[in-house]
Structure 1
């Protein structure tokens, strides 16, 4: 099992940060994918969301994403599930559940937002700056939306109600292998 974790330094007035993702407006997660059989990297990034389901060839199951490798015809699939809801002050998943999932080494300042079950392929890169919107919940109760631009890993805004700056710095995403 593969997990996608996000981490960041949040200003003290931020309660949580989560991906804006719902059935009505599904988030499109963008990945670089490679075939496990021939090791060729798919020439174009792939978009996967948790709402769409596709029939898997030669199986009764469904997956969030399916494809046939253009080079060796291997059937590949990825099933995307949400794991931890948000990055913030209060832990979303207990330490025991993280340990059972093989994420004991994951920092408490990180959140494993996605659980990715990859069959016949490997996700090698995540592009967090393409069409992904984050909802920032503030201590004041306000909610702001943010996106990270190409090459940027920080975001700044202003909370009008509290009269103070809001910031996310050192934003990063990385894959973790778990159970």
Structure 2
């Protein structure tokens, strides 16, 4: 099992999470490494928790099925549950966002592409289409009358 964790400085917002519903699939973007030959795929790969792929030689399915170009072994990953919203904390704390069951491979790096959501702490304002690719985000909460931000993002992939 692997866990994607996040540590971030949230000001004025909480419940940071990917916009990930059956109607609006979020594609989690990772670097992948073969568990057998340790070769790292040169490109990022995308994984959706709503996509099911057949595994060859098996009746099973996984969200992500990958065949290593070097050693030709097939491996897979399945997202175990919906993403867990990141709660605002002071000081910022490392929190679990997503958990994977990886077989024969592991994710080594995460890229926060796609749209994210957050909620105003005081106002309950809904912030949508948040872009975290630059490593920070700033906006203004009209209801609360103050600036809100997400910065100092630190993503980690940890073994359970």
Relative to the length of structure 2, the TM-score reads: 0.90
Q: Equivalents in 2 of 1:15, 1:66: separation in Å?
A: 33
Change (3 A) 1:4 1:154: same
Aligned pair 1:134/2:113, yes or no? no
What is the DSSP-based 3-state SS (H/G/I as helix, E as strand, rest coil) of the residue aligned with 2:70? coil
Structure-1 residue corresponding to 2:139: 157
Offset of residue 159 of structure 1: 0.7
Residue ranges of structure 2 left out of the alignment (5+ in a row): none
What is the DSSP-based 3-state SS (H/G/I as helix, E as strand, rest coil) of the residue aligned with 2:135? coil
Deviations 1:93-145 (A, max 9, x none): xxxxxxxxxxxxxx9823211111111112111111x3x21101013021112
Deviations 1:62-81 (A, max 9, x none): 10010211111101111113
What is the DSSP-based 3-state SS (H/G/I as helix, E as strand, rest coil) of the residue aligned with 1:73? coil
Alignment of 1:49-88 (within 5 A): 49-82=48-81, 85-88=84-87
Change (3 A) 1:123 1:15: closer
Deviations 1:20-67 (A, max 9, x none): 100011100111111111211112211001000111112221100102
Residue ranges of structure 1 left out of the alignment (5+ in a row): 91-106
Relative to the length of structure 1, the TM-score reads: 0.81
Kept in 1: contact 2:18–2:83 (CA 8 A)? no
Question: Number of residues paired by the alignment?
Answer: 157
Quote the RMSD (CA, aligned, Å). 1.9
Alignment of 1:66-145 (within 5 A): 66-82=65-81, 85-89=84-88, 109-128=93-112, 130=113, 132-138=114-120, 139-145=122-128
Structure-2 residue corresponding to 1:166: 148
